[in-house]
Structure 1
Amino acid sequence: MVDLSSAVRRGHPIAFGIFTVFALIVAIIASAVVADFNSNGQPSSKLVRDSTRFMVFAGWWGFLFSLVYIGLFLSGIGGFLSSIASHAVFIFLTWVFWLAGSAALSTKVGSADCSADDNGIPDCSALRAICAFGWIGWIELTCMLGVICYLAYKAFSGGRGMNDGFA
């Protein structure tokens, strides 16, 4: 059986660090757009308004929890909080949030012509950036979820449980 512990020790902080950057970008851009909506009037589309606000939540959720998981992993604190099961629940929940937010925002903004002044979508370019970084983050979460599923399978087949740590 192949020992993956050294790859996990190197890859975990890198993968979560990259996702933390994407989550911070989404959170900052979406927060700025929502602040602009609040000060300059709401967009005519409730879908744009609500999905942008949801991406604020999803971005800050991903950013804060990724920092927590990086800290737990690097400090070596064991237990349930740093277990494979905990990672799987967090990544799956975040995966659902990012999928829902990115898909909802993409339905209205994805095909919009941001160069036209009368497209009816305020902050169109910023909203497209949120969509782009949202989908990039979702793709990374999909890869991370695949790795977690593989590690869980290896843990079960090797006699370990889901409450065991990664490395």
Structure 2
Amino acid sequence: MAFDNHVRRGHPITFSLIIIFAIIELALSAWLTSRFNDHHNYLSTAVRDRVRFLLFCSVWTLIFTPFFMALFFAAPGSWLASLAAHGIFLFMTWVFWLSGAAAITAAYNGRLDCSQHFVYCGQQNALEAFAWIEWVLLTFVFFIVLFMGVGAVRRGDGYRGPLIAA
């Protein structure tokens, strides 16, 4: 199918973008967590805890996204690389990032105003921004997989079918 060629090209590109932004988010959240642990100068315990949750989201993403990317290349026909497995992983990751991005946004009341001289203001604003960027990327990929799943069910392959025709 012609759509398979797009998936073969698009899967590594989008998953690589997810990995790159997760690395950026990991660096920001780990650095902020370290600073907060050392100096106890967080805005509130809510901010401290939500930065830690974003650290978890980053680690989760960096563990499982390369795993699914490798499976896509190594065993595209296996059940681990199926539409259902991708869908479950992407949905869980999407919920984590939505929760983390919304929680940190709520803790900052929308955004931090750096003119009020908050500590690490630029890094905290970047943390919030990259969390939303990660969520947008995952939303895009999740809907593509959902769209492909509907097509697979209509074809009769089911959700356990591969992302591409092997």
What TM-score results when the alignment is normalised by the length of structure 2? 0.92
Match of 2:142 among 137, 145, 167: 145
Aligned counterpart, 1:100 = 99
Structure-1 residue corresponding to 2:22? 23
Q: Which residue of 1 aligns with 2:121?
A: 124
How many pairs are equivalent? 163
Unmatched 5+ stretches in structure 1: none
Do the aligned partners of 1:84 and 1:165 also contact (CA within 8 Å) in 2? yes
Percent identity (aligned): 34
Aligned to 2:163: 166
> What SS does the aligned partner of 1:161 have?
coil
Which runs of 5 or more residues in structure 2 are unaligned?
A: none
Q: Are the aligned partners of 1:30 and 1:130 in contact in 2 as well (CA < 8 Å)?
A: yes
> What is the RMSD of the two structures over their aligned residues, measured on CA atoms?
1.4
What's the TM-score, normalizing by structure 1? Answer: 0.92
Matched, 1:133 2:133: no
Could you list the runs of 4 or more consecutive aligned residues of structure 1 that deviate by over 3 angstroms after TM superposition? none
The DSSP-based 3-state class of the residue aligned with 1:115 is helix
1:42 positional shift: 4.8
Asked if the contact 1:21/1:63 (under 8 Å) is kept, the reply is no
Aligned to 2:50: 51
